[in-house]
Amino acid sequence: MTLTSTARRLRRPMIRERRRETWYAIAFVAPAAIGFLVFYLFPAIRGVWLSFTNYDLFSSGEFVGGANYAQIVDDKVFWNALLVTAEYVVINIGLQTAVALLMAVLMQRLAKSLVIRGILLVPYMVSGVVVALLWQWLLDYQIGIVNNALDFVGLPRQSFFGDPALAIVTVALINVWKSMGYTALLLFAGLQAIPKDVYEAAAIDGASEAKAFWRVSLPLLRPVLALVLIVSLIGSFQIFDTIAVTTKGGPVNATRVIYYYIYDLAFNRYDFGYASAIALVLFVILLGITLIQLRITRANKSDLA
Amino acid sequence: MTTIATPRRRFRIGRAGAWVLVGVFILITLFPFYWMLRTSFSTNGALPSHSNSLLPAEGTLDAYRRVLGLSSVSEALEKGGSTASVDFWLYLRNSFIVAISTTVVQTLFSALAAYAFARLRWPGRNVVFTIFLSALMVPPIFTTLPNFILIRDLGLLNTFLGIVLPNLLMSPFAVFFLRQFFLNISTEIEEAARLDGAGHLRTFFRVIVPMSAAPITTLAILTYVAAWNDYFWPLLVGQDENVRVLTVALGIFKAQTPNGGGPDWSGLMAATVIAALPVVILFTLLGRRVINSIQFSGVK
Amino acid sequence: MKWRKSAAVAAAALTAAGVLAGCGSSDSDSGSGSGSGGKVDLSYWLWDANQQPGYQKCAEAFTAANPNISVTVKQYGWDDYWSSITTGLVSGTAPDVFTNHASYFPTFVDKHQILPIDDEKVDLSAYQAGLPELWVGTDGKRYGLPKDNGLVGLYANDGLLKDAGKTAADLANLTWNPTDGGTFEQLIAHLTVDKAGKRGDQPGFDKGKVAVYGLGLNGAGDGSGETIWAQYALSNGWQYYSGSTSKPVFNYNDPKFTDTLKWFKGLSDKGFMPSLKVASSGIGMQASYGAGKYAMTTDGVWSAKSYFELKDVKTTIAPLPTGPAGRQSTTNALGDAVTATTKHPAEAKKLLVFLGGKDCQSIVAKEGVVLPAITSAIEEAKATFKTNGIDIQPFLEPKTSIEPVVPQWADAMAIFKPAMEAFLNGQTQADSFVGVNDQINALYK
C-alpha cells in the first residue's frame, strides 16, 4: 500500500514533468518543423503527385497513372545513368575516403601543423562551379597545364573529359580534390579523439605504424567514418555542377549521371512529370542506402564501448 | 649497433617518405589556386599562345579592373571580357547579409531541434526525427521549382528574405549532425543543471551550447561556406541589383554563347579570387578556432 | 566610365531628336497602347554580352522615340539565361521581351508561352531571303523578326599558312567531295604537321603524334551540325528534312548524309583533324586555334571578332569549299519574342519590332559583332568589320540553308547527340543513323 502510494505521489509530478517536456520539445522543434513542412515536405509531396502526371511546367498536367514509372523500366538511358552514378559514387567515395584517411594519419602522426590543415581545407571553400571551370582549364587537351606537363615528361596527352573511359573518373577525381582535405580534417578530428594511451600500449607491444593504424586507429575511427560516409554518400549521389560545367553528360552517355538526367528532362525537355518519377526513384534508393548505413553505424556502437 | 641502426634508418626513410607525401598533397591542393591567380593576371588574347608559361601571360591587372567595373564597357569587350561591371561593394554586402543571417538563424533553430531530438523525451520523437532525416535525401531539384513559386506567391522575389527563407529555419544535415553530438553529452551535467532549477531553454543555452561549441562552430562554418557559394537559388530569386549576391553577379563571367566563345577566363578567375577573398580572410582570422573546432570527441 | 558618358551624350542627343521629330508620333503612341498615359517599364533580356552595348543603345533610342516607355536591358550567360527564362515563364516573372533561339522557339509556341506579332505592320522584304520564315510558328503565325544572319566560313591561321607555303588566294576556290575530299582535304593534309615536322601529305607522317591539325573540331554538334559537318552534307545535296515544320521527316538516313559523315570522321582517322575525344576535352576550339594547334577552323561570322582578338595569331577568312551541290552554308538567325506573361503586350510588341527594324539594326551593325539580317544594314556592318581588319565578304558567298526549327527539338537531340558522339568516337558505324533517324521521325508521328 505505502509503496504504491509513494509511487503514485512520485508519478504525478513526473507525468506533469513529461507533459512539460513534450511542450518544450514541440516549441524547440517548431521553427525547424515549419521549415521542413513548407520547404521540404510540401514540395516533395507535390513532386510525388507530379510523378503521376505529364506536367510540363507550362500547363497543369494530366493524371497519367503509373505511365511514367512504366517508362522508367524501359528507359535505357535511365539504367545507364544509374550505372554511371554508381560508378561515380564508388570512385569518388572510395578514393576520397582512402586519400583522406592517409592525409588524416599523416597529420596526426607527422604534421600537426595548423597551417597545413588550413591549406588542405581551402578547396572546400570554393564553389563547385568554379572548381569545375578551373579544372576544365587545367585539363584542356591542347593547352591545359596538366597535359603540357605530361607532354613535357614524355607521356601521351590525355583527353580527360572526351574519352568515354576517362570522363567519369576525371569528374570523380575533381570532386575528390575538392573535398579530400575537408574529409581528412573530419577524420583527423576523429583520430584526435582516440586516447593516447591506446597508442602507447600498442607501441609497447612493438606494433609498427602500419599495424597501429590497422589495429588501433581504423577500428576506433569507424563510427566517425560512418558518419562522414553517410553524409558524403548522399552528396555524391547528387553530383551535378561538375558535369553541367564540363561534359554535359557526354561523351555519348558516359557521364550522364542520374541527377543531370533529371535536370535535363525537367528544365531542357520540360518533361517534369517523368523527371519527378525518376527523382522519386532516386529518393527511394538514397533512403535505402541510408537506412542500411544507419544500421551499420548502430552495430558499430558496441565496437567502441 | 647494426641491429638498432637498421630499424632506425628504415624509420627515417619512412618519415622522409611521409613528409614527401605531405608535400605532394599540399602541392596538389595549392597548384590549381596558383593557376587561378596566374590566369587572372593574364590577358584573354594571350592565354592560348602562352599555355606553357608558368607566369601570367602579358601580366596585367585588366581582369580585376574589369571585374570591379573600373574599365569601360567597350574597353572590357576589347579585352575579351563581358559588359558586366560589378558593383563589388554592394554585392559583397548582400553576400554577407545572406550568408550571415542564414548561418545564425539556421544553426540556432537546427540546434534547438537537434536538442529536442537528442535529449528531450516526447512521444513520436524517433518517428519525427526519421521523417526529418529523410529530407536529407530529397533531391533539391524536386524542391526548387515549388519553392520558387511559393516565394513568388509570398511576394518575396528580390528580397533578402526570399533568398534565405528556404534554408533559414532548418537544414536536415544540421539537425542530423548536431543531434549526433548532443546524444553523447554526459547526462550528469545536464541533470545537475536541472536540479539547480534551470529550465530546458536555460539548460540548452548554458550547458548544451557551451559544451558543443566545437561542433556548432564547425557546422556554422560549413553553413556559411555553403550559403556564400550558393548560386542557382539566388540567381532565380534575387536578380534585383539591391539583393544580388556576389556569386550571381560573377556568374556573368561564365560562358556567354552556346557555341564557341568560351568564358572570359581571366575575368572569371579574377572574379573567383575576389569572391573567395572574404571567405579566405575570415578563415585566416578565425583559422585556429575554425580548424580546431572540427572535433569528434563526442561521437560514439 | 568613358562609355557611359558618351552613351549619355548619345541618349541626350537622341532624346532631343525625338522631341524635335517625334511630337506627332508620340500622339499616335499613346493611342496604340498605354491609353492611360502612364509610364511603362519594359525589361529585355539577351545572352550575348558582345551584343549588349548595341542593344543598350537601341533601348535608349526606343525610349527617345517613345518617351513613355523605358527599357531595362539585362544579360545572362547562356545556361543561366534559359533556366531564368523558364522559371520566369512558369512564375510570371519573365521579361517582357527576350532574345529567342531557334532550338527553343517551337516549344514556346507549342506551350503558348510567347505572343504572335501578326497585328504589327512589318516589311518582311527588308530582310535577307529566307530568314523571316524562321520565326513563323507551326501554327502559321509570326512570333519574331530575324536580327542577324549566322553564316559560316573558314578561318585560317596566317602564320601556319605561310609556313606551308600557301597564301590566302589558295583558300578562295577550294573544292570538296565526299569521296576524296577534293582540294579542301589536300590543303588540310598539307597544313597538318606531326612532331617530327612531317606534313600530312608527306610519306612518313605519324598520325599518332600530330603537332598541328589541319582542321579543328568543335565537338560533335547537335542535329543541325552548324559550323561542324552541316556545310559539307548540304553541299553534297543533302537536306535536313522534308515535309512541314510541324511534321518533319528527317533525312539522317540519306546516303548523302552518311557518306559525308564517313568522310568527316576519316579526317580524324587520318590524323588531319583531332578526334572527338581530343576535341571535346577542354575549353574549346578557339583556344586551341589561338595556341596554334589548329591551322584552320570552320566557324560562324559571330565569332569573327574573337578570332581577331587573339594575340600572336593572325587570321584569314575564306569561303567554305564548293561541293558537288555548290557552296553551301547553314544560316540561323536570332530573333526576339514577347512573353505571354507580359503586362504590356502592345508596348512589348512595339519594342520587338523596333529592335528588329532598320534603326536599331543599323546601331547593332555599327558595333561590328554580327551580320544583320536586314539588308539595309549589311554595308554598315561590313564597314565596321573592315575597320577592325575583318573582311566578312567570304561569309556571304555560299548559298544558304536554314537550320531546322521544329518542335520537340530537345527530345530529338537527346537521341541524336549521343549517336553522333558514338559515331565520331568510332563506337558505331555510319549506318547506325538509319535507326537513329527512325527513332527521331517517330517523335513526329
Nearest CA in chain C to B259: C218
- Contact A193/B299, CB-based, under 8 Å? yes
- Say if residue C24's pLDDT is above 70: no
CATH code assigned at C317: 3.40.190.10
Chosen from B98, B122, B133, B235 to mutate, greatest number of chain A CBs within 10 A? B122
The residue segments making up the domain with residue A278 are 75-304
Same structural domain for residues C15 and C120? yes
pLDDT band (50, 70, 90) for residue B28: very high
Domains and CATH numbers, chain B: 2-78 (no CATH), 88-251 (1.10.3720.10)
- Say if residue B264's pLDDT is above 80: no
Instruction: From chain A, pick out residues whose CB is under 8 angstroms from the CB of C281.
Output: 139-141, 158-163
How confident is the model over B20-31, as a mean pLDDT?
Answer: 93
C387 near B CB under 8 A: no
- Say if residue B101's pLDDT is above 50: yes
* Range scoring the smallest mean pLDDT among A16-25, A131-140, C151-160, C174-183: A16-25
Cis peptide before B140 (omega within 30 of 0): no
How confident is the model over B261-269, as a mean pLDDT?
Answer: 76
Smallest Cβ distance to B48: which of C53, C303, C310?
C310
Same structural domain for residues A4 and A95? no
Same structural domain for residues C230 and C266? yes
The residue segments making up the domain with residue C370 are 2-149+333-387
Same structural domain for residues C258 and C374? no
- Contact B251/C77, CB-based, under 8 Å? yes
For chain C positions 214-253, those within 8 Å of chain B (CB to CB) are 218, 226-227
Strands C193-194 and C294-300: unpaired
Same structural domain for residues A104 and A241? yes
A15 near B CB under 8 A: no
Counting as contact any 3 or more CB pairs under 8 A, the partners of A are B, C
CA distance B71 to chain C (A): 7
Predicted local confidence at residue C14, as pLDDT: 39
Asked if residue A70 is part of any domain, the answer here is no
Predicted local confidence at residue A10, as pLDDT: 57
**From chain B, which residues contact C within 8 Å (Cβ)?**
43-49, 51, 58, 72-75, 77-78, 80, 82-84, 145, 148-149, 152, 157, 232, 235-236, 239, 251-263, 265
Q: How many domains does chain C have?
A: 2
SS3 B164: helix
C-alpha distances in Å from residue B267, one per residue of B6, B60, B75, B77, C283: 56, 11, 13, 11, 15
* Range scoring the smallest mean pLDDT among A274-288, B177-191, B258-272, C370-384: B258-272
When comparing pLDDT for A14 and C130, which is higher? C130
Smallest Cβ distance to A32: which of B110, B140, B291?
B110
B278 near A CB under 8 A: no
Same structural domain for residues A88 and A24? no
Distance (Å, rounded) from C-alpha A68 to C-alpha B246? 39
Asked if residue A290 is part of any domain, the answer here is yes
Predicted local confidence at residue B81, as pLDDT: 54
pLDDT band (50, 70, 90) for residue C271: very high
- Say if residue C18's pLDDT is above 50: no
When comparing pLDDT for C20 and B85, which is higher? B85
Same structural domain for residues A79 and A206? yes
B15 near A CB under 8 A: yes
Predicted local confidence at residue B10, as pLDDT: 60
Asked if residue C270 is part of any domain, the answer here is yes
Smallest Cβ distance to C276: which of A143, A251, A270?
A251
- Say if residue B5's pLDDT is above 60: no
Counting as contact any 3 or more CB pairs under 8 A, the partners of B are A, C
Residue with cell 534603326: C359
How confident is the model over C169-186, as a mean pLDDT?
Answer: 95
Chosen from B21, B120, B223, B248 to mutate, greatest number of chain A CBs within 10 A? B120
Per-residue pLDDT of chain A (305 residues; tens, 9 = 90+): 445 555 555 566 677 777 888 898 999 999 999 999 999 988 888 889 989 999 888 887 889 989 999 999 999 999 999 999 999 999 999 999 999 999 998 888 887 777 888 888 889 888 888 898 899 989 999 889 999 999 999 999 999 999 999 999 999 999 999 999 989 988 888 888 777 788 888 888 887 778 888 888 888 888 778 778 877 888 898 888 889 888 888 899 999 999 999 988 988 888 989 999 999 999 899 888 888 877 776 644 534 43
Predicted local confidence at residue A113, as pLDDT: 79
Same structural domain for residues A171 and A268? yes
pLDDT band (50, 70, 90) for residue C153: very high
Predicted local confidence at residue B7, as pLDDT: 53
- Say if residue C433's pLDDT is above 90: yes
Asked if residue C402 is part of any domain, the answer here is no
Predicted local confidence at residue C16, as pLDDT: 39
Asked if residue C400 is part of any domain, the answer here is no
Distance (Å, rounded) from C-alpha C235 to C-alpha C226? 13
For chain A positions 84-113, those within 8 Å of chain B (CB to CB) are 102-103, 106, 109-111
Burial class for B278, CB neighbours closer than 10 Å (0-12, 13-18, 19+): middle
CA distance A261 to chain C (A): 10
Distance (Å, rounded) from C-alpha C92 to C-alpha B271? 31
CA distance A169 to chain C (A): 13
Predicted local confidence at residue B288, as pLDDT: 67
CA distance C442 to chain A (A): 16
Asked if residue C397 is part of any domain, the answer here is no
Q: Is B261 left (phi over 0), alpha (psi -120 to 50) or beta?
A: left
Computed from CA positions of residues B74, C283, A249, C230, in that sequence, does the dihedral angle turn out positive or negative?
positive
Asked if residue C230 is part of any domain, the answer here is yes
CATH code assigned at A117: 1.10.3720.10
Asked if residue A53 is part of any domain, the answer here is no
- Contact C3/B73, CB-based, under 8 Å? yes
Same structural domain for residues C140 and C198? no
Q: Mind listing the pLDDT tens digit for each residue in A43-65?
A: 888 889 989 999 888 887 889 98
Same structural domain for residues C307 and C349? no
**Half-sphere exposure of residue C383: CA atoms within 13 angstroms, side-chain side:** 10
Same structural domain for residues A26 and A84? no
When comparing pLDDT for A54 and B139, which is higher? A54
Q: Mind listing the pLDDT tens digit for each residue in C391-405?
A: 999 999 999 999 999
Asked if residue A259 is part of any domain, the answer here is yes
Distance (Å, rounded) from C-alpha C91 to C-alpha B156? 13
C-alpha distances in Å from residue C190, one per residue of B285, C166, C187, C198, C318: 60, 9, 5, 9, 17
Same structural domain for residues C220 and C96? no
Asked if residue C58 is part of any domain, the answer here is yes
pLDDT band (50, 70, 90) for residue B66: confident
Instruction: From chain A, pick out residues whose CB is under 8 angstroms from the CB of C79.
Output: 244
Same structural domain for residues C259 and C367? no
Predicted local confidence at residue B285, as pLDDT: 74
Asked if residue A45 is part of any domain, the answer here is no
- Say if residue C223's pLDDT is above 60: yes
Q: How many domains does chain A have?
A: 2
Smallest Cβ distance to B255: which of C3, C50, C79?
C79
Chain pair A-B, CB pairs under 8 angstroms = 231
CA distance B99 to chain C (A): 22
Helices (H), C66-216: 78-91, 105-110, 158-163, 182-191
CA distance A275 to chain B (A): 9
Q: By C-alpha distance, which of C261, C156, C167 is closest to C215?
A: C156
Predicted structure pTM score: 0.87
Distance (Å, rounded) from C-alpha B69 to C-alpha B273? 15
Same structural domain for residues C239 and C364? no
Same structural domain for residues C177 and C264? yes
- Contact B260/C1, CB-based, under 8 Å? no
How confident is the model over B169-177, as a mean pLDDT?
Answer: 89
Same structural domain for residues C436 and C288? yes
Asked if residue C51 is part of any domain, the answer here is yes
Asked if residue A153 is part of any domain, the answer here is yes
**Sheet of C114-115, strands arranged across:** C69-75, C40-46, C97-100, C335-339, C114-115
Predicted local confidence at residue A6, as pLDDT: 55
pLDDT band (50, 70, 90) for residue C12: very low
CA distance A282 to chain C (A): 21
Asked if residue A48 is part of any domain, the answer here is no
Same structural domain for residues C181 and C126? no
Predicted local confidence at residue C412, as pLDDT: 94
Instruction: From chain A, pick out residues whose CB is under 8 angstroms from the CB of B133.
Output: 290
Asked if residue C93 is part of any domain, the answer here is yes
Same structural domain for residues A170 and A91? yes
Chain pair B-C, CB pairs under 8 angstroms = 125
Asked if residue A269 is part of any domain, the answer here is yes
Q: What are phi and psi of C329, to 5 degrees?
A: -135, 150
Strands C210-215 and C294-300: parallel
Same structural domain for residues A286 and A239? yes
Distance (Å, rounded) from C-alpha A70 to C-alpha A72? 5
- Contact C418/A58, CB-based, under 8 Å? no
Same structural domain for residues C87 and C183? no
Instruction: From chain B, pick out residues whose CB is under 8 angstroms from the CB of A100.
Output: none
Q: Is the complex ipTM higher than 0.85?
A: no
Q: By C-alpha distance, which of A194, A228, A175 is closest to B218?
A: A228
B36 Cβ partners below 8 Å, 6+ apart? A134, B269, B272, B273
